[in-house]
Amino acid sequence: MGRKRKTGQLTPLELEIMKVLWDTGPATVQTVQERLAGEPRLAYTTVQTMLNVLHRKGKVKRALKSRAYEYEPVLSREKATSAAVRDIIVRLFGGSAENLVMSLVESRHLTREKLARLSKLVENSQAPRETGKNEAGKDEPGKVREASHGND
């Protein structure tokens, strides 16, 4: 029995379509179809169906222009990225952003230079830090809570 994906998460194909819309701005089904990578090219009706699914999920809006709908992203690239990273942290690292960073260091995805840049970014950051709760109900720095996505 397959696991149903939360509507807040984008499927791989939905993400590819959203990337086209983020890069091009408002676009018709035909424009999205032409700009999608891959061979063989997806059928027009497949792209149309996926855009309609994204519209139902509230990820894109559409407006009738002449005889065709133009689709425009409602979900920003930044919000989609943040939700995907949060999901990975929660599902794979027990809610610990620190464990994610440690995994990147241990797998050598972060070089010394990248770590130095990251350290400077952290030092210069003025944004409030998100916390999670430990067993005692206290805030635990570096712990990410599962967030509800407004479009679920």
CATH code assigned to 12-73? 1.10.10.10
pTM tops 0.75: no
Q: Which two tokens stand for residue 75?
A: 């979900």
Q: Which residue has the tokens 């509800």?
A: 148
On the 0-12 / 13-18 / 19+ scale of CB atoms within 10 A, 57 is: middle
Using DSSP's 3-state secondary structure scheme, residue 60 falls into: strand
pLDDT in tens, the chain (152 residues): 445 555 478 999 999 999 999 999 999 999 999 999 888 899 999 999 999 999 999 999 999 999 999 999 999 999 999 999 999 999 999 999 999 988 988 898 888 898 889 888 888 885 565 555 555 555 555 555 555 444 44
Q: Which two tokens stand for residue 68?
A: 């065709």
The residue ranges of every structural domain in the chain are: 12-73, 77-125
Q: Which two tokens stand for residue 151?
A: 């479009």
